[in-house]
Amino acid sequence: MSMALKQVFNKDRTFRPKRKFEPGTQRFDLHKKAQASLNAGLDLKQAVQLPHGEDLNDWVAVHVVDFFNRINLIYGTISDSCTDQTCPVMSGGPKYEYRWQDEHKYKRPTALSAPKYMSLLMDWIEVQINNENIFPTNVGTPFPKCFMQVAKKILSRLFRVFVHVYIHHFDRVTQMGAEAHVNTCYKHFYYFVTEFNLTDHKELEPLITSQIC
């Protein structure tokens, strides 16, 4: 890895602090298993498949947190060029505009600048993955019935970060020499969400016709 690329993915550039798995827990072991598959050069389509005997909810939870950390880092690398002035609307090209909605301040879909949208998104995801009632960490604690629905919503919104970065900031990614890393992360994400049908096809449309996958 070049010095420039090391600087790009330095932990200090992370947009948000990383959520980590506690050593000795089942979730930690699954995370290590997933990382080992990737590091071994296993085909990404195979790497995302549910390991024999493992619980789907645990596998999805591990990947949701991992993708949050990784996409968070990717956005952090280009955040200096994503401002209210350069990106006054959170979009993925002229055909796709993403509006923010939550249970608090923005109860109706609201047009926001990309950096404002990203900040609200990362805050919202942090709340979800740190909520023990949604993402239980204790062995034996069951996942709630709403877990998969929440996971799908998180992943769909995270995909929008990829769309914005690819369409509006990929020149910055290329300038940093980070396109291979970002492409691999995108492929991993794409294969995972399609393997388990975790994102609606319409959400994938902005990048689905690209040559990335």
Average pLDDT along the chain: 83
Residue 31 annotated as binding site: no
Residue 87 annotated as binding site: yes
Going by C-alpha positions, the residue among 100, 90, 36 that lies closest to residue 66 is 36
Determine the pLDDT at residue 170.
Answer: 94
Digit-coded pLDDT (tens) for 57-79? 999 999 999 999 999 999 999 99
| Contacts with 7 (C-beta within 8 Å, 6 or more apart), sequence order | 13
Max mean pLDDT among 76-85, 136-145, 198-207 falls in 76-85
Which of 32-41, 75-84, 163-172, 180-189 has the least mean pLDDT?
Answer: 32-41
With bands split at pLDDT 50, 70 and 90, how would you rate the model's confidence at 155?
very high
Determine the pLDDT at residue 213.
Answer: 47
Determine the pLDDT at residue 8.
Answer: 40
Digit-coded pLDDT (tens) for 114-143? 999 999 999 999 999 999 999 998 877 899
| Contacts with 57 (C-beta within 8 Å, 6 or more apart), sequence order | 143, 147, 148
Residue 169 annotated as binding site: yes
Whether 115 contacts 125, CB under 8 Å: no
Q: What angle do CA 77, 78, 84 make, to 5 degrees?
A: 140
Q: State both tokens at 185.
A: 């992360």
CA pair distance 131, 143, nearest whole angstrom: 11
3-class DSSP state for residue 109? coil
Give the burial class of 107: count Cβ atoms within 10 A of its Cβ; 0-12 exposed, 13-18 middle, 19 or more buried. exposed
Determine the pLDDT at residue 18.
Answer: 52
* Residue 205 φ/ψ, nearest 5 degrees: -55, -40
Determine the pLDDT at residue 23.
Answer: 57
With bands split at pLDDT 50, 70 and 90, how would you rate the model's confidence at 159?
very high
Residue-wise DSSP of 61-92: HHHHHHHHHHHHHHHHHHGGG--TTT-SS-BS
Going by C-alpha positions, the residue among 193, 164, 190, 209 that lies closest to residue 173 is 164
Determine the pLDDT at residue 118.
Answer: 97
Digit-coded pLDDT (tens) for 19-57? 555 555 545 555 455 555 445 456 888 889 998 888 999
